[in-house]
């Protein structure tokens, strides 16, 4: 279990009532932000303190891993400069009756503040540029003591039965992709055959699958080669593609068995250009092994084409669940 601090001054009501965290993937200038990168590290069962208007106003339990999702419509004009697609984490929040003001206890908390990525200034004021940052167990424990019984009850729940909102996450993804499908369906500038091919590509079927199968023959991890047991999986997700050409590009795909397809699609595994398999630090090792993914020995699945390397770079940067904080 890890502990997090989220600064929700602009989005507190929407996120707490909606049961989620949301951040852009990048800064407005396209650079990585360490306080957005942390969204890729959250694991179900982690504890999260919500800071707003100088007080810790809620405590939550993470109920999902991070996943890509558009900026919530309820944000309105808040963060108008943010990316339209960012990271989302489902969270079970509980508003606090005892809303602790850290500035009132900074003498106790100051020695526990980290040298880097601190949520507070040394005078106890919040730091506006922070969104999500990790807390040490010592700092979280000191704050939990100040909150009292409410923090203890949530911490016990997280330890004994952490929530997992798998169905809600799946519904989020379905809603987003169905919206994109509707836009394609209504695009009369495209021939009906092309609209059908693009929509079928979402499920790894049709023309996209045919093109992937011209390049790939087997699942590179499990070595299954029976087409009936293989899925055509996008490296740059269908929902993220900026054109229908990308959605139908065979080099934007791998043939994978269903369990490997799930791991790749959700960012629990990826590949380097050299072919080396990379495992996410948030992935459950036991589950990986049961799904046929080696976890104790390095695995190289073979070289990729130049086109495949282009799309895999996107997968590593925008799908894979591993922070690249410096």
Can you list the alpha helix ranges (DSSP code H) found in 133-239? 137-147, 149-160, 166-185, 192-202, 206-213
What pLDDT was estimated at residue 85? 87
What's the CATH class of domain 3-165? alpha beta
Q: pTM here?
A: 0.87
Burial class (CB in 10 A: 0-12, 13-18, 19+), 249: buried
Q: How is the chain split into domains, by residue range?
A: 3-165, 203-318
Alpha-carbon distance 307 to 293, whole Å?
25
Which residues partner with 253 through β-bridges? 234
Q: Which of 96, 89, 99, 97 is nearest to 46 (CA)?
A: 89
Alpha-carbon distance 87 to 85, whole Å?
7
What pLDDT was estimated at residue 259? 95
What pLDDT was estimated at residue 326? 59
Each of the 326 residues of the chain gets a pLDDT tens digit; together they read 899 999 998 889 999 999 999 999 988 787 888 999 999 999 999 999 999 999 999 999 999 999 999 999 888 877 777 778 899 999 999 999 999 999 999 999 999 999 999 999 999 998 888 999 999 999 999 999 999 998 888 877 777 777 777 788 888 888 888 888 888 888 888 888 888 999 889 888 899 999 999 999 999 999 999 999 999 999 999 999 999 999 999 999 999 999 999 999 999 999 999 999 999 999 999 999 999 999 999 999 999 999 999 999 999 999 999 977 65
């Amino acid at each position: 279990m890890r502990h997090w601090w989220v600064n929700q001054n602009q989005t507190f009501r929407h996120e707490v009532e909606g049961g989620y965290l949301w951040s852009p993937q990048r800064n407005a200038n396209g650079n990585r932000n360490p306080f957005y990168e942390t969204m890729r590290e959250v694991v179900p069962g982690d504890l999260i303190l919500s800071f707003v208007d100088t007080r810790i106003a809620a405590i939550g339990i993470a109920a999902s891993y991070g996943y890509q999702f558009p900026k919530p419509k309820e944000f309105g004009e808040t963060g108008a400069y943010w990316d339209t697609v960012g990271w989302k984490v489902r969270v079970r929040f509980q508003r606090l009756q005892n809303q602790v003001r850290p500035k009132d206890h900074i003498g106790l908390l100051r020695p526990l503040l980290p040298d880097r990525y601190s949520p507070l200034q040394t005078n106890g004021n919040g730091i506006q540029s922070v969104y999500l940052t990790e807390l040490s167990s010592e700092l979280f424990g000191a704050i939990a003591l100040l909150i009292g019984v409410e923090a203890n009850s949530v911490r016990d729940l997280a330890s004994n039965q952490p929530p997992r909102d798998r169905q809600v996450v799946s519904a989020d993804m379905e809603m987003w992709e169905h919206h994109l499908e509707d836009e394609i369906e209504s695009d009369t500038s495209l021939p009906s055959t092309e609209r059908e091919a693009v929509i079928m590509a979402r499920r790894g079927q049709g023309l996209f699958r045919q093109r992937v199968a011209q390049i790939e023959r087997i699942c590179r991890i499990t070595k299954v080669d029976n087409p009936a047991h293989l899925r055509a999986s996008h490296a740059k997700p269908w929902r993220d593609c900026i054109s229908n050409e990308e959605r139908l590009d065979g080099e934007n795909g791998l043939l994978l068995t269903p369990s490997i397809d799930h791991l790749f699609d959700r960012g629990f595994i990826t590949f380097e250009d050299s072919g080396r398999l990379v495992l996410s630090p948030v992935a459950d090792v036991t589950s990986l092994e049961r799904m046929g993914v080696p976890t104790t020995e390095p695995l190289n699945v073979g070289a990729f084409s130049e086109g495949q390397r282009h799309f895999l770079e996107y997968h590593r940067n925008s799908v894979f669940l591993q922070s690249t904080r410096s």
